[in-house]
Amino acid sequence: EDQLRDLCGPEQRLLNRLYEGLVGGQRASLAESITLVETQHPRKKELAQVLLQRVLAYRKQQESQNGGKPVAFRIGLTGPPGAGKSSFIEVVGKMLTARGHKVSVLAVDPSSCTTGGSLLGDKTRMTELSRDMNAYIRPSPASGTLGGVTRTTNEAIVLCEGAGYDIVLVETVGVGQSEFAVADMVDMFVLLIPPAGGDELQGIKRGIIERADLVVVTKSDGDLVVPARRIQAEYTSALKLLRRQSKSWNPKVMRASSQTHQGIPEVWAAMRSYQDAMLASGELQGRRRAQHKVWMWSLIQENVLLHFQNHPGVRGALPQLEEKVTKGAISPGLAADLLLNTFLSS
């Protein structure tokens, strides 16, 4: 409220308009709010935080009416390129909207950091779902770092839930650290794998398989049914060797086909039974509380690094030290110490 009083008239009107529209379920207000959250402009960042605070308060009120249980279900989806993530999301999304759910799809693509934004790929690949009035698809922001992308995605999840979307799907391209970042912002983490031949288990990091609550072998139709069954058996035995993450849920391996829709309702039923089991044991609420802490620390790291890079002393010394390090004149460790001393001394 204090922050609201500090805002000038037009800013207050903007925030009120966005908040009213968002809570009323208007897609245009949701899109505008997420754009506000993604901005790098310092003043707009402050406005975004005020808006988020209001949406969080509204969501807390909804949860207390729901017996303290989360209103929305957040599902993270990952898998190697070619696993059929978009087709799977479209088929599941269409099925859920037909059952009366509101579905939002957020894409986390840190590779867009190098190219500057995803080229609307998600919307063109999910043509049916993007036309559905009960679905909302948002491609990844062109933010410079994975930290930036995860911050805005975390905040976009909150806004989508505020706008009445009860199922939030977060998709990530299976590269680098993005899967771990997504696993830290969802209730359930699903790994999609294609029924390829050869060393399938080699290509996917053990850590990702350990984090998966459900593994779905996609494209299980036609000639691929036999290899899909084989991979299902391989992953089932592989999961038995890994330690369980949760006391109330055993990770499952299932087969599904986005083309014939076979296995899709069963996959959703498994997701639902996971949600019920985790809510009943209180683990899901605990997981969300722990994720808030992870989110806070990632914000601290991102902002500290930004202050460090913008520090006048550091900016002055950086080019010379970088050159010395690349030439091998001084060790990277010494250069880092010198820069940190410059940063801390003033």
Domains of the chain and CATH, by start: 1-65 (1.20.5.170), 70-282 (3.40.50.300), 311-345 (no CATH)
Q: What value does the mean pLDDT of the chain take?
A: 84
- pLDDT (mean) for 25-48: 86
Share of the chain above pLDDT 90, in %: 34
Residue 332: its pLDDT value, please?
A: 93
Residue predicted with more confidence, 259 or 39: 259
Indicate the DSSP class of residue 185: T
Q: Which of 39-48, 77-86, 140-149 has the lowest mean pLDDT?
A: 140-149
What type of residue is 220? Answer: S
Q: Which two tokens mark 284?
A: 């899901």
Specify the higher pLDDT residue, 254 or 298: 254
Report the distance separating Cα 226 and Cα 232, nearest Å: 10
**Lowest mean per-residue pLDDT among 63-72, 99-108, 204-213, 254-263:** 204-213
d(C-alpha 179, C-alpha 146), whole Å: 11
Report d(CA 42, CA 201) in Å as an integer: 45
